Amino acid sequence: MALDDYLEEARLAGRAFADYGAGFFRPTVRLGVTGLSRAGKTIFITSLIHALLHGTRLPVFEALNSGRIARVRLSPQPDAAIPRFEYEKHLRDLIEHRRWPESTRAISEIRIEIDYQSKRGSDKTLTLDIVDYPGEWLLDLLLLDKNYEEWSAEALALSRQGPRATIASQWHTHLASLDPKGPADEQQAITAAKLFTDYLIACRDERFAMNLLPPGRFLMPGDLAGSPAVTFAPLDLPRDEDAPSGSLWAMMQGRYEAYRSRVVRPFFREHFARLDRQIVLADVLSAINAGPEALSDLEATLTAVASSFNTGRRTILSSIFKPRADKILFAGTKADHLHHLQHDRLENILARMVARASRRSELAGAATDAIALAAIRATREAVVTRGAEKLPAIIGTPLAGERIGDETFDGTQETAIFPGDLPELIEGENHEWKFKGLAAASHDETDFRFLKFRPPLLDASAGREPSLPHIRLDRALQFLLGDRLE
Amino acid sequence: MNVSKPQSFRPDDPRVVLAAPDEPLLTRAELRELEAAEASSLPAVIESAPKKRRFWGKLFWSAAGGLVSLALGLAITNLVQSLFNYAPWLGWLALALTAIASLALLVIAGRELFAIFRLEKIERIQKRAVEVLVSDDRDEGRAVVGDMISLARTMPRLAKGRAAMENYSRDIIDGADYVRLAERELLSPLDAEARALVSSAAKRVSLVTAISPRAAVDMLFVLFNTLFLIRKLATLYGGRPGVLGMFRLMRHVISHLALTGGMAIGDSIVQQVLGHGLAAKLSAKLGEGVLNGLLTARLGIAAIEVTRPLPFAALPRPTLSDLAGNLLPTKKDA
């Protein structure tokens, strides 16, 4: 371990100690809403705040349902340097304009205070801190323990597999023309970084829906755009050699290290090392939409990301110096794209995907669960009878431009959709994914088709703010916060 | 794997039927099929092992019962006949009385049968609820809670909780959560009353034991008090047992008590009593009273667990110190 690794550990412990002191007088839960981009973090947070503030129907969330929560309010956040989570704006977008919030471009934070009466009868207050950040940045956690050479080799190997190879061909051609040991050239670095970024962005297309695409700031640079810290790319490097000074290799290596120490570590230190509870949102349905490769890719990403969490049973020592998340919930989001009869299958698929990650957390003493969730439910359910066959379908308004079969939607018309039957997993059986997704087939040949829907039309009559419909948000809250509100 | 391709339909298409909020997606028949399939896959109950002895026993009791009824029938027929010989109007009167008596007997038998069915239904709900809490099966959870709600329909004080539950049937809630929710909504008012019942019965028993002059008196009192308590608890939780039902309940409560460790030596409160020698410090009679009270409370807990239609999952299980804590006001001073 290098000196700066020890320094980093010391910083983490110091931070944790300060938090412990603050939490002593004000019980606080730092809820980590973790998820890759487009998994629905912003929507989950908005829906959660709205549900708590307005006391939406949350039957399974015992504290609210039995009336022990007296008051919930938003309060000023602790960090002065981080923007506030734009709850009101997101809510307006959802309710008034019926459009989903734009993808998150920068970090933001919000604090909620819950006044409740404990089961024994004393009045208490629980503070809930939630952080929202671009999901792309989550991928940076994978770089925490890798040096430039390791990362470079991995990224290259990955880009030569499956559908990625064709997407990356342009970058590969440019890469072949580079000499790692040649003199450093800024223009070469810029071109390589540009082509590499293009390849990463192309992988995210709906047809491929790949997720394992570090480094995250390449996809969502925030305020770093154009700086040297994001102007590097993997190189085809010889094994067991050192970078000659002044070479392209040395320059790239230096920039990678700068990225790691300036971007990745502070992000981890400020947000991930301090979490008490975690919810990991995963958009399994979009991956199924794209095909088996995307599904395996999502599985690899989730496993890798989850391995960088601090999880485990809480002890006094750990909560003072190294906070650990003692509950982790894996949630397959957008469950409203499926009829509820199929939710079990979605849960099974998700549980299998995160099996390794959750076993690791459970061994460390943390509780885990996997559920199908829809923070905001955009559809209703229906049954379509076709002869003797009954198809469980959902009714919603697809976004403009979405297509199914030979039909294209305009964003205003309601449609009943049968998205396909999810495969049923049999326990203990090694299941190979065999189905056609968008990556391999055209729009009318896929086995599944999960469209994007517009937010639901809510009844805002009688001057009351409408409550947002959801699926299992209450179960998620009960799992994550239930025991802290007892 | 897939027979049906993804496809879209217009909502005004006559084939599209909006799912009614509280209609389960499986029909009753389908559900029953599912149940049957599951039942056959479950391991056979251990009880069924000594089948042969049961068969002969049953044969004996049925044959003997038949003989007794024949004798009874013969006696009545003879009586009516001899009364007819004596005076015709007496004969007619006897015949009418016989008819009335047999009608009443029929009704009583019907009621007893009905009461037993009710008890069986509650037991079945409880058993299925335990399974759902483990399997988290959504459809089965709905079915169990549906049965629970129909049971609650006979209890007017549960109207509010029932309305709340019926309201939740539109939400998507998983099996185990749904059972827990039903427990919270429907059983918390009943639980409070059940605790009060057991607690007061325990107090009564300990008092009577302490002041009664003879052992026989308090034994009788304890017996009646216990029967009364079990009956009240069963009625509270919707059972309404008859005479036969009481026998059945008694048997279950006692076997439950045996299973959960009869005297509850492990229970901290008993340990305190015995360990600190509190009973010895008090007069022997008073100590006996406290111990009897504790036993009654213990039995009451067993009776609650047997008669309660749902297992304790979301609400706290009553403990001995909840129910019998007030029997030992001097505990802290001792």
CB-based contacts of B257, cutoff 8 Å, min separation 6 = B298, B299, B302
More confident residue, B189 or A13: B189
The phi-psi region of residue B6 (left if phi > 0; otherwise alpha if psi is between -120 and 50; otherwise beta) is: beta
Query: Looking at beta carbons, which residues of chain A come within 8 Å of B181?
Result: 59-60, 65
pLDDT for residue B27 is more than 90: no
Q: Once rounded to an integer, what is the mean pLDDT over residues B288-304?
A: 84
Residue A402: which of A388, A384, A414 has the closest Cα? A414
* Confidence label for A115 from pLDDT (cuts 50, 70 and 90): very high
Residue B276's pLDDT is what?
A: 53
CA atoms of A427 and B133, how far apart (whole Å): 19
**Dihedral of the alpha carbons of A226, A229, A235, A240, in degrees to the nearest 10:** 170
CA atoms of B253 and A273, how far apart (whole Å): 52
Chain A: residue nearest B8 by CA?
A: A417
Contact: A59, B181; criterion CB under 8 Å: yes
pLDDT for residue A86 is more than 60: yes
Query: Looking at beta carbons, which residues of chain B come within 8 Å of A417?
Result: 6-9
Contact: B8, A475; criterion CB under 8 Å: no
Contact between residue B282 and residue B290 where contact means Cβ atoms under 8 Å apart: yes
pLDDT for residue A16 is more than 60: yes
Which of B3, B5, B27 is the mutation pick for testing A, counting most A CBs within 10 A?
B5
Contact between residue B306 and residue B229 where contact means Cβ atoms under 8 Å apart: no
Contact: A59, B9; criterion CB under 8 Å: no
Residue B173 forms contact with A (CB below 8 Å)? yes
The phi-psi region of residue B104 (left if phi > 0; otherwise alpha if psi is between -120 and 50; otherwise beta) is: alpha
CB-based contacts of A256, cutoff 8 Å, min separation 6 = A147, A148, A151, A232
Chain B: residue nearest A449 by CA?
A: B6
* Confidence label for B78 from pLDDT (cuts 50, 70 and 90): very high
> Alpha carbon of A52 to those of A60, A89, A99, A112, A265: distances in Å?
13, 17, 22, 9, 33
CA atoms of A472 and B228, how far apart (whole Å): 44
Question: What is the count of residue pairs from A and B with beta carbons less than 8 Å apart?
Answer: 108
> Alpha carbon of A188 to those of A153, A179, B67, B184, B300: distances in Å?
19, 10, 108, 67, 83
pLDDT for residue A441 is more than 60: yes
Contact: A416, B11; criterion CB under 8 Å: yes
Q: Are strands A389-396 and A380-386 parallel, antiparallel or unpaired?
A: antiparallel
Contact: B6, A448; criterion CB under 8 Å: yes
Residue B8 forms contact with A (CB below 8 Å)? yes
For A169, phi then psi, to 5°, come to -60, -40
CA atoms of A254 and A147, how far apart (whole Å): 10
Which B positions 118-157 lie with beta carbon below 8 A of chain A? 138
pLDDT for residue B21 is more than 60: no
Contact: B10, A415; criterion CB under 8 Å: yes
Residue B325's pLDDT is what?
A: 66
Residue A105's pLDDT is what?
A: 82
Lowest mean pLDDT among B59-68, B116-125, B195-204, B206-215: B206-215
Which of A58, A334, A383 is the mutation pick for testing B, counting most B CBs within 10 A?
A383
Query: Looking at beta carbons, which residues of chain A come within 8 Å of B180?
Result: 60
pLDDT for residue B268 is more than 70: no
Local structure of A16: helix, strand or coil = helix
For A88, phi then psi, to 5°, come to -65, -40
Residues in chain B, total: 334
Residue B101 forms contact with A (CB below 8 Å)? no
CA atoms of A290 and A438, how far apart (whole Å): 5
Which of B1, B3, B7, B23 is the mutation pick for testing A, counting most A CBs within 10 A?
B7
pTM here is 0.80
> Alpha carbon of A158 to those of A162, A195, A200, A219: distances in Å?
9, 16, 11, 17
pLDDT for residue A420 is more than 60: yes
For A259, phi then psi, to 5°, come to -60, -45
DSSP assignment letter at A325: B
Residue B73's pLDDT is what?
A: 92
Residue B273's pLDDT is what?
A: 56
Residue B98: which of B67, B73, B123 has the closest Cα? B73
Structure tokens at A9: 């550990």
Closest CB to A407: pick one of B8, B173, B177: B8
Residue labelled with tokens 């019980």? A27
Residue B46 forms contact with A (CB below 8 Å)? no
Q: Once rounded to an integer, what is the mean pLDDT over residues A76-94?
A: 88
pLDDT for residue B31 is more than 80: no
Residue B83: what residue type?
Answer: L
Closest CB to B16: pick one of A384, A404, A475: A384
Lowest mean pLDDT among A432-436, B99-103, B166-170: A432-436
Q: Once rounded to an integer, what is the mean pLDDT over residues A328-341?
A: 90
Contact: B6, A404; criterion CB under 8 Å: yes
* Confidence label for A30 from pLDDT (cuts 50, 70 and 90): confident
What is the biggest distance separating any 2 CA atoms in chain B, rounded to whole angstroms?
Answer: 89
Q: Once rounded to an integer, what is the mean pLDDT over residues A428-444?
A: 68
pLDDT for residue B104 is more than 60: yes
Which of A384, A399, A443, A473 is the mutation pick for testing B, counting most B CBs within 10 A?
A384
Dihedral sign for Cα atoms in the order B58, B62, B63, B68: positive
Query: Looking at beta carbons, which residues of chain B come within 8 Å of A475?
Result: 173-174, 177
Residue B5 forms contact with A (CB below 8 Å)? yes
Which of A57, A60, A340 is the mutation pick for testing B, counting most B CBs within 10 A?
A60
Q: Which helix (H) or strand (E) holds A381?
A: strand A380-386
Provide, rounded to the nearest whole percent, the portion of chain A with pLDDT above 70.
93
For residue range A148-187, list pLDDT tens digits in order.
888 898 888 888 887 888 888 888 998 888 888 888 888 8
Tell me the nearest-neighbour CA distance from B19 into chain A, angstroms.
Answer: 5
Residue A432: which of A315, A292, A306 has the closest Cα? A292
* Confidence label for A461 from pLDDT (cuts 50, 70 and 90): low
Contact between residue A135 and residue A196 where contact means Cβ atoms under 8 Å apart: no
* Confidence label for B26 from pLDDT (cuts 50, 70 and 90): very low
Residue B332 forms contact with A (CB below 8 Å)? no
CA atoms of A288 and A448, how far apart (whole Å): 7
Mean residue pLDDT of chain B comes to 78
Strands (E), A64-153: 69-75, 108-117, 123-132
Lowest mean pLDDT among A102-111, A259-268, B206-215, B309-318: B206-215
Residue labelled with tokens 């997407």? A167
Residue labelled with tokens 């056609």? A436
Q: How many CB atoms lie within 10 A of CB A193?
A: 20
Lowest mean pLDDT among A143-147, A448-452, B174-178, B287-291: B287-291
CA atoms of A120 and B149, how far apart (whole Å): 29
Q: Once rounded to an integer, what is the mean pLDDT over residues B269-288?
A: 59
Closest CB to A423: pick one of B1, B6, B172: B1
Q: Once rounded to an integer, what is the mean pLDDT over residues B45-56?
A: 58
Contact between residue A139 and residue A215 where contact means Cβ atoms under 8 Å apart: yes
Tell me the nearest-neighbour CA distance from A278 into chain B, angstroms.
Answer: 21
CA atoms of B50 and B48, how far apart (whole Å): 6
Residue B264's pLDDT is what?
A: 45
Tell me the nearest-neighbour CA distance from A459 into chain B, angstroms.
Answer: 17
Residue A336: which of A473, A158, A168 has the closest Cα? A473
Which of B3, B12, B13, B15 is the mutation pick for testing A, counting most A CBs within 10 A?
B15
Contact: A393, B177; criterion CB under 8 Å: no
Query: How far apart, in Å, do the first and last CA atoms of chain B sit?
Result: 72
Closest CB to B8: pick one of A381, A417, A447: A417
CA atoms of B70 and B61, how far apart (whole Å): 14
Residue A314: what residue type?
Answer: R
Chain A: residue nearest B20 by CA?
A: A382
Tell me the nearest-neighbour CA distance from B18 into chain A, angstroms.
Answer: 4
Residue B214 forms contact with A (CB below 8 Å)? no
Residue B43's pLDDT is what?
A: 41
Residue B322 forms contact with A (CB below 8 Å)? no
Residue B324 forms contact with A (CB below 8 Å)? no
* Confidence label for B330 from pLDDT (cuts 50, 70 and 90): very low
* Confidence label for A322 from pLDDT (cuts 50, 70 and 90): low
Lowest mean pLDDT among A254-263, B17-26, B86-95, B97-106: B17-26
Residue labelled with tokens 């349902």? A65
For residue range A367-416, list pLDDT tens digits in order.
889 999 999 999 888 888 877 777 888 888 888 888 777 778 888 888 88
Residue B2's pLDDT is what?
A: 43
Contact: A416, B10; criterion CB under 8 Å: yes
Residue B253: which of B269, B234, B266 has the closest Cα? B234
* Confidence label for A28 from pLDDT (cuts 50, 70 and 90): confident
What is the biggest distance separating any 2 CA atoms in chain A, rounded to whole angstroms?
Answer: 74
Structure tokens at B132: 């759902």
Residue A128's pLDDT is what?
A: 92
pLDDT for residue A90 is more than 50: yes
Residue B25's pLDDT is what?
A: 45
CB-based contacts of B332, cutoff 8 Å, min separation 6 = none
**Dihedral of the alpha carbons of A472, A473, A479, A485, in degrees to the nearest 10:** -140
Contact between residue A89 and residue A62 where contact means Cβ atoms under 8 Å apart: no
Residue B20 forms contact with A (CB below 8 Å)? no
Residue B312 forms contact with A (CB below 8 Å)? no
For residue range B107-125, list pLDDT tens digits in order.
999 998 988 888 888 989 9
More confident residue, A351 or B7: A351
Partners of A130 in the beta sheet?
A31, A110
Mean residue pLDDT of chain A comes to 84
CB-based contacts of B133, cutoff 8 Å, min separation 6 = B176, B179, B180, B311, B313
Contact between residue A398 and residue A389 where contact means Cβ atoms under 8 Å apart: no
Q: Once rounded to an integer, what is the mean pLDDT over residues A339-357?
A: 87
Tell me the nearest-neighbour CA distance from B303 into chain A, angstroms.
Answer: 26
Closest CB to B4: pick one of A421, A423, A434: A421
Contact: B8, A59; criterion CB under 8 Å: no
Contact: B1, A59; criterion CB under 8 Å: no
More confident residue, A135 or B4: A135
Residue B333's pLDDT is what?
A: 38
More confident residue, A3 or B76: B76
Query: Looking at beta carbons, which residues of chain B come within 8 Å of A371?
Result: 174
Contact: A384, B15; criterion CB under 8 Å: yes
Q: Once rounded to an integer, what is the mean pLDDT over residues A338-361?
A: 87
Contact between residue A451 and residue A399 where contact means Cβ atoms under 8 Å apart: yes
Residue B24's pLDDT is what?
A: 44
Residue B194's pLDDT is what?
A: 92
3-state secondary structure chain B: CCCCCCEEECCCCCCEEECCCCCCCCCHHHHHHHHHHHHHHCCCCHHHCCHHHHHHHHHHHHHHHHHHHHHHHHHHHHHHHHHHHHCHHHHHHHHHHHHHHHHHHHHHHHHHHHHHHHHHHHHHHHHHHHHHHHHCCHHHHHHHHHHHHHHHCCCHHHHHHHHHHHHHCCCCCCHHHHHHHHHHHHHHHHHHHHHHHHHHHHHHHHHHHHHCCCHHHHHHHHHHHHHHHHHHHHHHCCCCCCHHHHHHHHHHHHHHHHHCCCCCCCCHHHHHHHHCCHHHHCCHHHHHHHHHHHHHHHHHHHHHHHHCCCCCCCCCCCCHHHHHHHHCCCCCCC
Residue labelled with tokens 């079969």? A405
Chain A: residue nearest B137 by CA?
A: A344
pLDDT for residue A440 is more than 50: yes
Contact: B6, A389; criterion CB under 8 Å: no
Residue A99: which of A84, A85, A89, A113 has the closest Cα? A89
More confident residue, A309 or A53: A53
Contact: A415, B9; criterion CB under 8 Å: yes
Tell me the nearest-neighbour CA distance from B314 into chain A, angstroms.
Answer: 9
